[in-house]
Structure 1
Amino acid sequence: MPLKAVLFDMDGVIVDTEPLHRKAYFRMFEDFGIDVSEELFTTFTGASTKRVCTTLIDTFGLEADHEDLARIKRHHFKNYFDTDPDFDLIPGVKSLIENYYENGVKLVLASSAHMNTINWVFEKFELEPYFIGKISGADLQESKPHPEIFELAADMAGEPREHCMVIEDSTNGIEAAHSAGIFCTAYQSAHSKNQDYTKANLSVFDFSDIEFEKVQKYF
């Protein structure tokens, strides 16, 4: 059966915002006087800001609301987003998006990022014309690794799950796609360290390896 829809994660797949998020999170940790280990921080990869902030509140006994933490983190993130000269699209992803679009594949963005961040990225890099929809995990009841976001993305595309493919770079996202029963390609980003790709159906280092013509054999 042909590939009909691709469900893109954003962080680590379309843009490398992970370094910006890292800087913003650690500035926020300083603001609240908490010492977050690298081991704990690694578990946050692919999770929504709400889930991260809720975990921090529970772990460190903070009296603040998760929205208080998230608001401060977003403030720091937007500052880095606007000023970091190295912030750009992941190499090869714009060509991949154009390749799918030209072949009539429906594209849906399914990211744990806040919708404000998604819109900033889409505006900055002019991605809006290529996508039929965007979903923010921050607006959902469940966070990756729960499959809800990809189930909704497939529904938004209006295609059966067996005609869809997820592109992810995190353990949580791959687990979510696997649980949703959707073919998942893991993009092994240089910036997504210590992630588990074993539940992905396919793993690539270069987006040219999953252009429309090359990936058809899996569907």
Structure 2
Amino acid sequence: MKIPSPVKCVIFDMDGVIINSEEIHKKAYYETFNSLNVIVSDTLYKSFTGSSTSNAFQRLIAHFNLDEDPEKLVLDKRERYLGFFENDPNLQLVYGAKEIIQYLHAKGITLVLASSSAMVNIDRVFNRFHLQQYFTAKISGADLIASKPHPEIFNKAVILSNFKKENCIVIEDSDNGIKAANDAQIFVFGYANKLSEGQTLENANLVIDNFNALKEFV
């Protein structure tokens, strides 16, 4: 697939692309796993990356044959995440993320957020780091029928952009997110974040490890 020309819309994932929140998500997940007395392997945990929390817990319950309500586990994990989010002064945006967002916005390119995080967590990030003004739309996978790697979230992002898929690109750091973009038939950059564990990015159309590289294409 060729990179769109011109690029009129950039669709961003959030965790691991805009904010380095993967570590506090992992802490919140593992505290919840421990409360259930289950041992989650690295391989199983890495397979959750990019999926919604609800989808992750549904899979966990099926894997361990647990008699638990997945939505109660979602709320439990969300509360633990909030504690880490509010009490970690070192939580930062991904290096160069805000600068590329400002650069794209200044060029008149439409920006859409398509994250598996709950909208309450998206809003916390956007408010804390003052990102609201740059984005035309925000989509939470938690509000959709299907979770990444299903393409629903990116199909919706394209609709909200008011552009054709041929003029959109996606930036993702997870294999589940990249598969969702592939299946939506949207050009996808894999962002190689060293903190995003166990992601190959092998099905991305192009892989970058810094956001300045995007300026060559957009």
Q: TM-score range by the shorter chain?
A: over 0.9
Any idea what SS the aligned residue of 2:217 has? helix
* Residue of structure 2 aligned with 1:177, choices 174, 181, 185: 181
1:92-146 deviation digits (Å, cap 9, x = unpaired): 0000000000000000000001111101000000100000000000111111111
Q: Counterparts of 2:175 and 2:156 in 1: how far apart (Å)?
A: 19
Q: Counterparts of 2:81 and 2:202 in 1: how far apart (Å)?
A: 31
User: Does 2:138 correspond to 1:134?
Assistant: yes
* Residue of structure 2 aligned with 1:91, choices 89, 95, 99: 95
Identity of matched residues, %: 43
Q: Which amino acid aligns with 2:120?
A: N
Q: Name the structure 1 match of 2:210.
A: 206
Q: Which amino acid aligns with 1:20?
A: I
1:1-219 alignment, distance < 5 Å: 1-211=5-215, 214-216=216-218
Q: Counterparts of 1:140 and 1:33 in 2: how far apart (Å)?
A: 30
Q: Counterparts of 1:201 and 1:62 in 2: how far apart (Å)?
A: 38
Q: Counterparts of 1:14 and 1:56 in 2: how far apart (Å)?
A: 27
Q: Which amino acid aligns with 1:78?
A: L
Q: Counterparts of 2:16 and 2:196 in 1: how far apart (Å)?
A: 7
Q: Which amino acid aligns with 1:28?
A: T
TM-score by length of 1: 0.96
Divergent runs of 4+, >3 A: none
Any idea what SS the aligned residue of 1:23 has? helix
Q: Which amino acid aligns with 2:87?
A: T
Deviation at 1:34, TM superposition (A): 1.2
Deviation at 1:172, TM superposition (A): 0.4
- Count of residues in correspondence between the two structures: 214
TM-score by length of 2: 0.96
Q: Which amino acid aligns with 2:41?
A: S
5+ residue gaps, structure 1, are none
Deviation at 1:198, TM superposition (A): 2.0
Q: Which amino acid aligns with 1:129?
A: Q
Range 75-84 or range 186-195, more displaced: 186-195
Q: Counterparts of 2:90 and 2:61 in 1: how far apart (Å)?
A: 32
